[in-house]
Amino acid sequence: MKKVLYILIFMMLCFAGMAQGGYFLDGIIGVVGKEVILKSDLEKIYAEYSYQYSLDEDEHDLKCQLFQQLVFQKLLIHQANLDSITITNDELDNTINYRMAMMIQQVGGNEKIIEDYYHKSIAEIKRDIREDIYNQMLVDQVQQGITSNVIITPSEVKDFIKRIPSDSLPTIQTTYEFGHIVKIPPVSDDEINAIKEQLEGYRERVLRGERFSMLARLYSDDPGTATKGGDLGFVDRGTLYPEFEAAAFALHTGEISPVIKTQAGYHIIQMIERRGESIHVAHILIQPKPSAEEQVKAIEYLDSVRQVILDQKMDFSEAAEKFSDAPDKLAGGWVVNPYTNSYRFEKDVIDPSTFLTIDKLIPGEYSSPVPYVNEDGIMTYRLLYLKARIAEHQPNMFDDYDYIKNAALEEKKYNTLQKWIVNKVKVTSIKLNEEYKDCPFVEEWQIP
């Protein structure tokens, strides 16, 4: 089951093209309702899989598993068409832009790496994957509809963990739960006025003929775009700070905005191109920096807070709510793992400087004040508090109930999907090439 689920995840993320036109009769290896599967479809995802992962099984067996997921995908698309499910252009564009942004982020924010790999521009890649993403969104909607009412009870969670042999349980890596109390040093009016004058100066230099991109490379505080001349690429409305968008969408091609303020700092924006509700812009960002004196005051403040907490034996969440400048103080000051939406972090998802600090703490201990650049790039200081360090272990009901519950729920959803498939196969015309009739799923799903 795990292998099939793993391949399904791979299929969802794979950008292999699924051509729908111009096929030859001898290239068809499957027909599900009116949905066609080509041999090239299978070969493409097999090649992509082979490139990304080491192969530890027979080629035919792996192709059977990949073909199984293609048949499953087409069965869901067939159902989507029967149910008249549609995806709006806005929904599709947002999903494509999000996935491209994630791909670019995974290679360090360098679009050229992606373009060189595919030998295409970002715009061409988006165009080529449009149909695939549309189909995958249909698949997701149908699949969610099938499993949306699946719930798991505590007794089912207990039965799930009992059924798995102890030597088959996966090892859970060491995890950490921690919180912080943040102090944001104030920035003086003089500093802000100096930044505005600095950006106005850059704006005037561009208007006099200097290249915006060169000034961005030299002076912008945005590490993600400075090396690219401040270029943000094409972005859709609703993905940037509201103040930034309001100024950017008001510009004409080639225009430079006045100085604007966002949570990240102060900007000037250059409009490169607009396409409907998408804009291609560049910016120069200058982030206000507190003076050395204000930084010293922040450190001293947190030192005094730490002493008050220790002297009064104050609860951490109470202290965070009382003393922290961070928005999460209202949630007790606990830091949330953005990948799991839980309070537990594995080492690999904690930034190195934070990990070096909390790894030296014992549970219940506070760090000294440490510098911290928050999500908006603002210079702050904080006390870190280690709530728990859970050593590497096999999952158990006491420490890992949520982890086990989620695994049990996923298994139940998987079984629900399998039942749906068997029932759907009975009322759907499915024809498969003889070469794949010996694949295990053909008998499992009772395909004639």
Write out pLDDT tens, residues 350-365: 988 899 999 999 999 9
Choose between 94 and 213: higher pLDDT: 213
Give the CA angle between residues 347, 351, 353 to the nearest 5°. 105
Cα(127)–Cα(352) distance, integer angstroms? 37
- Kindly report, residue by residue over 381-428, the tens digit of the pLDDT: 999 999 999 999 888 888 888 888 988 999 999 999 999 999 999 999
- Mean pLDDT for all residues in the chain: 87
Phi/psi at 299 (nearest 5 deg)? -65, -45
Q: Mean pLDDT throughout 130-157?
A: 93
Q: Return the pLDDT at 108.
A: 64
Question: What does the block give as tokens for 90?
Answer: 């806005």
- Kindly report, residue by residue over 188-235, the tens digit of the pLDDT: 999 999 999 999 999 999 999 999 999 999 999 988 788 889 998 888
Rg, the chain, Cα only: 27
| Residue whose entry in the numeric block shows the structure tokens 């729908």 | 20
Q: Return the pLDDT at 26.
A: 47
Phi/psi at 253 (nearest 5 deg)? -55, 130
Domains and CATH numbers, the chain: 2-154+401-444 (1.10.4030.10), 175-186+291-390 (3.10.50.40), 189-286 (3.10.50.40)
- In the predicted structure, residue 23 carries a pLDDT above the cut 80: no
Least Cα distance to 152 among 368, 436, 408 occurs for 408
Residue type present at position 346:
E
pTM of the model: 0.60
Cα(43)–Cα(435) distance, integer angstroms? 14
Cα(448)–Cα(443) distance, integer angstroms? 8
- In the predicted structure, residue 157 carries a pLDDT above the cut 80: yes
Q: Return the pLDDT at 411.
A: 93
Residue type present at position 388:
A
Mutual orientation of helices 316-323 and 292-312 as an angle, nearest 10°? 150
Query: Computed from CA positions of residues 419, 420, 426, 429, in that sequence, does the dihedral angle turn out positive or negative?
Result: negative
Residue type present at position 229:
G
Q: Any residues with CB less than 8 A from the CB of 92 and at least 6 apart, and which? A: 130, 133, 134, 137
Q: Which range scores top for mean pLDDT: 79-93, 308-322, 332-346?
A: 308-322
Q: Mean pLDDT throughout 233-249?
A: 87
